[in-house]
Amino acid sequence: MTRYVYDFVEGNKDLKDLLGGKGANLAEMTRMGLPVPPGFTVTTDACREYLRTGTMPTGLLGEVEHHLRMVQNQIGKTFGDPEDPLLLSVRSGAKFSMPGMMETILDIGLSDTSVAGLGRQTGDERFAWDSYRRLIQMFGKTVFDVPGEAFDDELAAAGGIGADLSVAQLQDLVLAYKKVFHAHTGRDFPQASHEQLFLAIGAVFRSWNAERATLYRRQERIPQDLGTAVNVMAMVFGNRGEDSGTGVAFTRDPATGRRGVYGDYLRNAQGEDVVAGIRNTMSLAELATIDPASHRQLLSIMQRLEQRYRDLCDIEFTIENGKLWMLQTRVGKRTPAAAFVIAAQLVDEGTITLDEALQRVTGEQLAQLMFPSFDTAAAPEPLTTGVPASPGAAVGMIVFDSDAAAAATEPVILVRRETNPDDLPGMIAAQGILTSRGGKTSHAAVVARGMGKTCVCGAEQLVIDEDSVTVAGRTLHAGDVISLDGTTGKVYPGAVAVRPSRVVRYFEGELTAHGDPLLAAVERLMIHADHTARLAVHANADTGADAARARRFGATGVGLCRTEHMFLGDRRVLIERLILGDDGALAELLPLQRADFEELFTAMDGMPVTVRLIDPPLHEFLPPLEELTARVARAEALGQDPGRDGTLLTAVRRMHEQNPMLGLRGVRLGLVIPGLFAMQVRAIAEAAAAQVAAGGDPRPEIMVPLVGAVQELETVRAEAEAVLASVLGAPPIRIGTMIEVPRAALTAGQIAGAAEFFSFGTNDLTQMTWGFSRDDVEGAFFGRYLQLGIFAASPFETIDSDGVGELVRIAVERGRASRPGLTVGVCGEHGGDPASVRFFHDTGLDYVSCSPFRVPIARLEAGRAASAAAGSDSR
């Protein structure tokens, strides 16, 4: 029979799949001999079974009772005892940290009779009644979905936060809470302690499928089928008076990575009070003055935990009457800057290797570091300064609730007293988050850091109402624009100008890494990534300027030059002439194309440049049919000769297509319009010959687009080879094709007979495989598909490994079987997506190509993919 419950002493930190992250780490701390309250973990297996059947798994309740007796023996108290009750906390704990997304219930086991016994045993009636009102509130919200506002209104009517209320006020508040509970549930608050416990466990299981938890997993790309464990632990109390309290600490600064101890402590409070941000906290340095013994013990434990986990640790603790208890630890979330700095520090300290350091950072984090920051020299006086909780520069209109943020069509800043898990949709939609309460460990700060959102917390000078915020005598309303600097904590009126990030300026060569911990860390890890990577990283570049920038960013070639982009602007008229049958247009285009290629080859001298022959849907180069028809009609109505418009209208009608993306484009265009591809091939060859004559080392490659049958490629290749043979002084030029039609992938073995290289055009391959257009679906059904979980992410952003990816694998295998040593790359924007880069590494591609800005991201991910594969092989 499946076992569903494990005591803390039975697990370890490597059992996260079974025990969840929190349970595995509680077990690890217990094994280390740290002061962890006794308890046990109900496994993720039990959760999945409960969610599948809707009932508790067979045998689970008996296992819980058995382990509960073990906790009672360790504590010396009995659960449900009216005179001296053992109280329990019930907390969720999935494999991956989901801060604030699922449920916690504290003080389980209190009832109308045991609350009096707790008061007598502790000699503190106020504490007992405060704990009871907390239980009713949390239990009602979590187990029976009682609206939190109903309890909040009663608390506000009683006079404020619980710590300010007398015993009599708390007793009245308990009565009020019980009435709220009954009004919304139709039943009395349960008095049986075991009923409370089992109802709480079921509620935590159900919270896995709560809307906010599902949304968070989708945002963070966490699998939806993992389930959560449930951790049941003996209560320890931070709300026992001034010698008690609760806190959250980090072994290094999660915002910057600086060494040291960072965190918040709240006297006479329970754990949820800190992360909720309802009351502003004191620093851990202040704890050293009010409880030096606990502070010293905490610092020692933090050092041991960081050594054990070999990483930044996030710790939750409670002090009860001067005794320190550890309630949780985990590898802490951090900002992108802190991730790079900490990884480099741990290498310097000999804690991890450079390969391990590469696994501690991600391409997504590097992308966030490349976003612009504020130009503070041009900034006005700040309105106020809060806690810099998550770096970045965010500009937007003020909104005061999550629904408004989620519905906004313009950039917004979510402004709240504090956030809670129900605010997640608005936090995702907003450019930044600003709160008047809370610190670096509040809900807003932790969630924002995890999502890479700019966040300023604890701006105490802000007075926030339902539809306005007042600060320094100035009142701002919804729709007013403000700017948040998450690095300094400053809040500015209006829109502050931005400047390139210093990471981008470093890649551009404007800054050096000397004396800058972040840039030094980025440089060190990028060097190791380049050294480790198997995949080369090329760039998509159509001009010399784009190519030069890509080279500065570390590209080792151009994987895609889109020649159709060279025909825009003033040259569009030449394409119109070509369509009208004017052969002279080709002669005029040749020198223009040749100059384009000379510029590109000069910028990438000594590196491969893959030039895609023109691939435009013709409608992009011709006036719209409706517009031409209207112009001709107006001319005829006025008795005027429509002239060239009339001739062009005839041609456009002749070539009009219902689905131009699937029509006359790519190789088909080159076969239908005689001389078009030949002109481009000649321009490439002559530009390369000129570069060779000037002492350069051009390495052009010609890529034929949209091939679906080998016969198409053979026809174009024969024409191209004849042209190349006629250009004296040209270097060897390889001819290959772009695999973007499913049939090309399936017949790759045939096509490889005529192609010296493949490059996957994953944008077109994706839309042709799925049967929907990337230009049309965003507003049609993508949002609903993401909501339903049909897509974890847009297949145009991250490669669909099961479908499109399978076509890539087939084409690589069949192509190389036909032509051993076939060079294979990818030139769709998937080439700069971190998850896709890892897929392309695993599939055996030779290079990825992406926009210049994403070249560093692809370089980092190529190195991470190689080091991860090497680590897996060594194991």
Catalytic: which of 295, 827, 830, 850?
827
DSSP 624-637: -HHHHHHHHHHHHH
* Distance from C-alpha of 752 to C-alpha of 705, rounded to nearest angstrom: 14
* Distance from C-alpha of 589 to C-alpha of 575, rounded to nearest angstrom: 9
* Residue 813: count of CB within 10 angstroms of its CB: 14
Please, which residues have CB within 8 angstroms of residue 231's CB and are 6 or more apart in sequence?
A: 20, 22, 23, 26, 39, 40, 41, 42, 89, 90, 91, 92, 93
Long-range Cβ contacts of 718-724 (<8 Å, 24+ apart): 719/677, 719/678, 719/681, 720/677, 720/678, 720/681, 723/678, 723/681, 723/682, 723/685, 724/681, 724/685
Give me 828's structure tokens: 């769709």
Active site residue 457: no
* Residue position matching structure tokens 């624009």: 481
* Distance from C-alpha of 340 to C-alpha of 347, rounded to nearest angstrom: 11
* Distance from C-alpha of 247 to C-alpha of 456, rounded to nearest angstrom: 20
Give me 310's structure tokens: 């070999």
Which 3 state secondary structure label does DSSP give 327?
strand
Active site residue 443: yes
Count helices and strands in the chain by DSSP H and E runs: 35, 33
* Distance from C-alpha of 287 to C-alpha of 834, rounded to nearest angstrom: 42
* Distance from C-alpha of 260 to C-alpha of 51, rounded to nearest angstrom: 43
Beta bridge partners of 561: 611
Buried-exposed string 148-186: b where 16+ CB fall within 10 A, e elsewhere: eebbeebbeebeeebeebeeebbbbbbebbbebbeeeee
* Distance from C-alpha of 845 to C-alpha of 851, rounded to nearest angstrom: 18
The CA-atom distances, in angstroms, between 83 and each of 86, 301, 324 are 10, 35, 25
* Distance from C-alpha of 417 to C-alpha of 437, rounded to nearest angstrom: 6
Tell me if 206 sits within 8 A of 130, measured CB to CB.
no
* Distance from C-alpha of 6 to C-alpha of 27, rounded to nearest angstrom: 9
**Residue 525 host element (H or E):** helix 517-532
* Distance from C-alpha of 641 to C-alpha of 635, rounded to nearest angstrom: 6
* Distance from C-alpha of 116 to C-alpha of 708, rounded to nearest angstrom: 81
Tell me if 241 sits within 8 A of 247, measured CB to CB.
no
Give me 433's structure tokens: 């988050």
Catalytic: which of 47, 67, 313, 443?
443
Tell me if 394 sits within 8 A of 483, measured CB to CB.
yes
Q: ∠ CA 42-46-49 to the nearest 5 degrees?
A: 165
Give me 611's structure tokens: 């030039």
DSSP 333-390: P--HHHHHHHHHHHHHTTSS-HHHHHHTS-HHHHHHHTS-EE-GGG----SEE-EEEE
DSSP 64-101: HHHHHHHHHHHHT-EET-SSSEE-EEEEEEESS--TTT
* Distance from C-alpha of 855 to C-alpha of 836, rounded to nearest angstrom: 14
* Distance from C-alpha of 433 to C-alpha of 445, rounded to nearest angstrom: 9
As a whole number of Å, the end-to-end CA separation of the chain is 32
Query: What is the set of active-site residues?
Result: 443, 827
